[in-house]
Amino acid sequence: GNSVTQMEGPVTLSEEAFLTINCTYTATGYPSLFWYVQYPGEGLQLLLKATKADDKGSNKGFEATYRKETTSFHLEKGSVQVSDSAVYFCALRITQGGSEKLVFGKGTKLTVNP
Amino acid sequence: EPEVTQTPSHQVTQMGQEVILRCVPISNHLYFYWYRQILGQKVEFLVSFYNNEISEKSEIFDDQFSVERPDGSNFTLKIRSTKLEDSAMYFCASTQGGIGTQYFGPGTRLLVL
């Protein structure tokens, strides 16, 4: 089946620390991969995406590379800020017969302390 | 920037009552979705909707659930007779094309007592 496994949280870091949130997936075919972020009190926002193997998605200093050989899409940021505190969701997109849906991981809560 | 909106932000209801959760998708979007997240669990797909009919639904989306686009702007999720286990955050999403980035609303937190 199709599934996403995400690093369990919560993750607490100091400002300017390096962030990695691991994400691996199981899928039939070649899904597109996404990271969504949910800031407190807000909805899910697309952070970055990659649609094929070896693609790197990037946004706001965050990066993730689609690794087909390890079925992974780990999220990284070199220097986190307090404003990055949020819940991060890894997801894959399944497309069948013209319709699509997202399969999400459990989410990882990140807290960045000053 | 256009966004998906949802109302109410929070709803408390008694078991067995009907609830309607409302969403206003982005205006030129044609594909609509509902997801839910039970506290501490994954965000789960419920249903997708296009051209006034359901495209796909999950096993969660049983006869107690229905969706509707009553007036060309709202997209609603109705739970006919709520159960305790329906307590969750419900997210609406929309896309312009059938295969495209899904834009999410802020969610409705439903609590069934």
Beta carbons of A45 and B44 less than 8 Å apart: no
Beta carbons of B107 and A41 less than 8 Å apart: no
Q: Could you give the CA distance from residue B61 to residue B49 in angstroms, rounded to a whole number?
A: 13
Tell me the C-alpha to C-alpha distance, in Å, between residue A55 and each of A10, A34, A71, A75, B48. 28, 12, 13, 13, 27
Tell me the C-alpha to C-alpha distance, in Å, between residue B53 and each of A64, B33, B69, B95. 35, 12, 9, 15
What are the tens digits of pLDDT across the range B59-84?
999 999 999 998 878 999 999 999 99
Q: What is the pLDDT of residue B98?
A: 64
Q: Indicate the DSSP class of residue A67.
A: B
Q: Could you give the CA distance from residue B71 to residue B79 in angstroms, rounded to a whole number?
A: 19
Q: Could you give the CA distance from residue B38 to residue B60 in angstroms, rounded to a whole number?
A: 12
- Which has the closest alpha carbon to B51: B31, B77, B27? B31
| Beta strand spans in B51-106 (E) | 53-57, 65-68, 75-79, 88-95, 103-104
* Nearest Cα residue in chain A from B57: A101
Over residues A75-98, the mean pLDDT reads 92
What are the tens digits of pLDDT across the range A5-59?
998 889 999 999 999 999 999 998 889 999 999 988 778 899 999 999 999 999 9
Over residues B83-107, the mean pLDDT reads 90
Q: What is the pLDDT of residue A1?
A: 82
**Average model confidence (pLDDT) for chain A?**
93
Q: Among A36, A46, A99, whose Cβ lies nearest the Cβ of B98?
A: A99
Beta carbons of A46 and B33 less than 8 Å apart: no
Q: Indicate the DSSP class of residue B56.
A: E
Pick the more confident residue, A99 or B18: B18
Q: Indicate the DSSP class of residue A107.
A: -
Position of tokens 């509707």? B68
CB-based contact A45:A36 (threshold 8 Å) = yes
pLDDT value at A83 more than 90: yes
Tokens of A105: 């991981």
- Chain A residues within 8 A (CB-CB) of chain B? 4, 36, 41-46, 49, 89, 91, 93, 95-96, 98-107
